[in-house]
Chain A
């Protein structure tokens, strides 16, 4: 946006140029090297009272620093008639005759590039996290069109029902969960998909972009996702057909198609298939570490596999070799001392079982790379890299030989989840997990591995026929139930008491990437 500070600043720029501002900005505001930072720390003091005071200003005309709150910079300006000063925190220019801070686009552009250099010198990507601001044309457009669709606490913008096209509730609930994935929403609403396929009509990512626009358009009638269904059917043939499908299967297929359609848009990283940086991989891909320990020589062979979801067993676990007295009939006793020998009743227990070392018996001997012989071994799965969005799939549909059934046991899941105990780093400290670690880490201050629940997909009915509904979180603690075209309010308690089939957790803190 073009804005020219004030008459006094323009006079100054005409006389002395922008160089004085640039020098002050480079040396004392946005330092691009360690030396400059050291200099800044040493010299940013008021020249009058010699204090490293808050709201220090530098005179643009001469070398003088003075504090604003104690009026030293004002005194300097009055006595020397130097009427412009720069704020040393953010680089705003104060004009004494105008009595206000003034903003000049030329100086701001200069400052922006300085900030970029400063952050890259600190190892942060050269990108400043500044809020969006409209340029001249955008401001004009915004003025002319005062109607707004804004995601606010009491607003329905961002919510929309989805028509059931005939047994498509499995799709609708996954779409609702994806649409309300915060990082995905930011990606699509900021229009970051640059379609390279050339055929917009065939690209599922483009269809997602349209879906987001539909959801945030403020329209209240249900959306008809017929184009999405058509695209999914053409791209994932195994899901095609008018019948009831598994929502989890659909989720994985949808992520796969999205991932494939993203590929064209990141040509640089296309060469390395394991490190795709498409938005789907950035958000959903985690690393699952598998450690196989040889029983004889204790050699550990480690592999890391990318995963999009974590599937958790619900049925009674295999009996533990060392603890036979706790039976399945008394889950209370099995609860505390032998994970794996009871039906898990919470997500944490499922995860404990998931990451528990598993003894591969004599029937499954593996050739050890160290001692070169077939040995019994133990295998343990841990999380090497946590995804931004963790999808937990509770395996409620059991397909054993001869029978199929749905496991409807209640599995409690928390609103906030700490994944620290299930990390590979935790495994290295302590082989196996005890409740103590889980409890300790829950209390600890570390938020790095903490997750918040934002969507829950539920299935009601039997293994053959049923209905999917979905709970989604729009704002913090504001939940909605999506039942195809019907969106209603829901309480957090209602969500946590629901059966749960797919659980979507979002990382609370994102690292700078």
Chain B
């Protein structure tokens, strides 16, 4: 305040300067004193160096700055990390957690989109071919995947939701690229005769996926499934039982109560539809194995129409199987 008026003895500028310097010095002195007291106090109470990093930890956590390795000094590895799904408590590879969780929780934009498309397809055009194949594969659960499985998985990536999305963006047609994928070669087991099943099970693992209702096409030594599971599936598929006629699979599934039964039901609806008219069968006339079998079975009729008119032999009645508690539970437990 008083600095504003010209001082009678000296010019005001230098007085202000000097005063500012004084105030500043005093503030610095006081702050310095404060720190001195803090340190002195900590020293007297013995807490001064208590929080300091020990030399070993300091050395262990030094930042490394070398090309090719990260700041921790590690070479980036493809090491598999494992995590437990909070939803289903399964152990799985961390890098596959997101795709797993999508299915496990039955959510996601694409999941629901695919699901609704499936429902739409089953209710409307039976033999329409634009429904993408279910890309579910049990290899999600397991992180002990061998080379062969990986190769198989790679083949299937063109069925993944993302690919479908991008291809849809291109021309809105997703059906074509689904034909001829490995799994479309294997007809659903419902459509096979006991002999055909026997022949197939002699060569493959055959365990039926909980999600896709498809049989495992790997060898008997496939690492994903246990011998028990293989045994159960053989018992289930090969024990001859009278054709149950027009049994309704859905009813049986309804009795199966599980938190995820909704998504399962969706899968099964899809399965029912495909057993009547598998979209893959109807389009894939180049599909040699299945068409050959079909032709041998019922000669003369065209493949597509045959599927529509006459139902192929039904699988063993699941409803009867469900009477035996062991066999039903095994059907859903083996994954």
A-side interface residues toward B, CB under 8 Å? 1, 3, 54-55, 87, 89-90, 92, 100-103, 131, 133-134, 139, 142-143, 146-150, 152, 154-157, 159, 161, 163-168, 201, 218, 220-222, 224, 226-227, 229-230, 233-234, 237-238, 240-244, 464-465, 480, 485-489
Please indicate which of the listed interface residues A89, A201, A242 has the most CB atoms of chain B within 10 Å of its own CB: A242
Of the candidates A143, A149, A168, A222, which one forms a contact with B57 in the assembled complex, judged by CB atoms under 8 Å apart?
A149
Interface SS of A by simple majority: loop
**B70: chain A residues within 8 A (beta carbon):** 161, 486-488
Smallest Cβ distance from A218 to chain B, in angstroms? 6
**A54: chain B residues within 8 A (beta carbon):** 26, 29-30, 33
CB contacts between A and B, total, < 8 Å: 163
Given contacts A89-B33, A149-B57, A240-B105, are A220 and B72 in contact (CB under 8 A)? yes
Q: For the complex, give the distance between the alpha carbons of A226 and B92 in Å.
A: 11
Smallest Cβ distance from B47 to chain A, in angstroms? 6
- Please give me the residue from chain A that is nearest to B44 by CB atom: A103
Residues 32-85 of B at the A interface (beta carbon under 8 Å)? 33-34, 37-38, 40-42, 44-47, 50-54, 56-58, 60-63, 65, 70-72, 74, 76, 81, 83-85
Of the candidates B71, B85, B166, which one forms a contact with A489 in the assembled complex, judged by CB atoms under 8 Å apart?
B71
- Please give me the residue from chain A that is nearest to B112 by CB atom: A241
**B111 at the A interface (CB under 8 A):** yes
Given contacts A233-B107, A241-B107, are A165 and B63 in contact (CB under 8 A)? no
Does the CB pair A155–B97 fall under 8 Å?
Answer: no
**B47: chain A residues within 8 A (beta carbon):** 133-134, 139
**B111: chain A residues within 8 A (beta carbon):** 241-242
Interface SS of B by simple majority: helix
Of the candidates A55, A218, A464, A486, which one forms a contact with B169 in the assembled complex, judged by CB atoms under 8 Å apart?
A464
Given contacts A90-B37, A240-B107, A241-B107, are A165 and B87 in contact (CB under 8 A)? no
**A465: chain B residues within 8 A (beta carbon):** 162, 166
Does the CB pair B71–A166 fall under 8 Å?
Answer: no
Does the CB pair A89–B34 fall under 8 Å?
Answer: yes
Q: For the complex, give the distance between the alpha carbons of A224 and B63 in Å.
A: 22
Does the CB pair A224–B99 fall under 8 Å?
Answer: no
**B71: chain A residues within 8 A (beta carbon):** 156, 159, 480, 487-489
**A55: chain B residues within 8 A (beta carbon):** 33
Smallest Cβ distance from B117 to chain A, in angstroms? 15
Does the CB pair A242–B72 fall under 8 Å?
Answer: no
**A241: chain B residues within 8 A (beta carbon):** 102, 107-111
- Please give me the residue from chain A that is nearest to B31 by CB atom: A89
**B314 at the A interface (CB under 8 A):** no
30 A-B residue pairs with CB within 8 Å: A3-B45, A54-B33, A92-B37, A100-B44, A101-B40, A134-B47, A142-B51, A147-B54, A147-B56, A147-B57, A154-B63, A155-B53, A156-B72, A161-B70, A165-B96, A165-B98, A218-B57, A224-B83, A226-B86, A226-B97, A229-B97, A229-B101, A230-B85, A240-B105, A243-B108, A243-B109, A243-B162, A465-B162, A480-B71, A489-B63
10 further A-B contacts with Cβ under 8 Å, apart from A89-B30, A163-B94, are: A3-B45, A133-B42, A148-B57, A155-B61, A156-B61, A163-B95, A222-B81, A233-B107, A240-B108, A243-B108
Does the CB pair B65–A156 fall under 8 Å?
Answer: no
Does the CB pair B50–A103 fall under 8 Å?
Answer: no
Q: Tell me how many residues of B have a C-beta within 8 Å of chain A.
A: 57
**B95: chain A residues within 8 A (beta carbon):** 163-166
Q: For the complex, give the distance between the alpha carbons of A102 and B44 in Å.
A: 8
Does the CB pair B76–A485 fall under 8 Å?
Answer: yes
**B161 at the A interface (CB under 8 A):** yes
Q: For the complex, give the distance between the alpha carbons of A161 and B7 in Å.
A: 65
Does the CB pair B107–A237 fall under 8 Å?
Answer: yes
Smallest Cβ distance from B34 to chain A, in angstroms? 6
**A148: chain B residues within 8 A (beta carbon):** 51-54, 57
Does the CB pair B74–A242 fall under 8 Å?
Answer: no
**B105: chain A residues within 8 A (beta carbon):** 233-234, 240
Q: For the complex, give the distance between the alpha carbons of A457 and B34 in Å.
A: 41
- Please give me the residue from chain A that is nearest to B77 by CB atom: A485
**B292 at the A interface (CB under 8 A):** no
Residues 248-280 of B at the A interface (beta carbon under 8 Å)? none
Q: For the complex, give the distance between the alpha carbons of A242 and B135 in Å.
A: 13
**A134: chain B residues within 8 A (beta carbon):** 47, 50
Smallest Cβ distance from A244 to chain B, in angstroms? 8
Residues 293-315 of B at the A interface (beta carbon under 8 Å)? none
Of the candidates A89, A150, A166, which one forms a contact with B98 in the assembled complex, judged by CB atoms under 8 Å apart?
A166
Of the candidates A152, A224, A240, which one forms a contact with B94 in the assembled complex, judged by CB atoms under 8 Å apart?
A224
Does the CB pair A229–B45 fall under 8 Å?
Answer: no
**B109: chain A residues within 8 A (beta carbon):** 238, 240-241, 243
**B165 at the A interface (CB under 8 A):** yes
- Please give me the residue from chain B that is nearest to A3 by CB atom: B45
Q: For the complex, give the distance between the alpha carbons of A155 and B41 in Å.
A: 28
Smallest Cβ distance from B285 to chain A, in angstroms? 33
Of the candidates A166, A240, A243, which one forms a contact with B165 in the assembled complex, judged by CB atoms under 8 Å apart?
A243
Does the CB pair B102–A240 fall under 8 Å?
Answer: yes
**B169: chain A residues within 8 A (beta carbon):** 464
Smallest Cβ distance from B136 to chain A, in angstroms? 12
Given contacts A164-B95, A229-B101, are A155 and B72 in contact (CB under 8 A)? no
Of the candidates A155, A227, A244, A486, which one forms a contact with B58 in the assembled complex, judged by CB atoms under 8 Å apart?
A155
Q: Which 7 A-B pairs have the closest CB atoms?
A: A241-B108, A166-B98, A220-B72, A165-B97, A242-B102, A242-B99, A240-B107
**B33: chain A residues within 8 A (beta carbon):** 54-55, 89-90
**A87: chain B residues within 8 A (beta carbon):** 37
Does the CB pair A155–B110 fall under 8 Å?
Answer: no
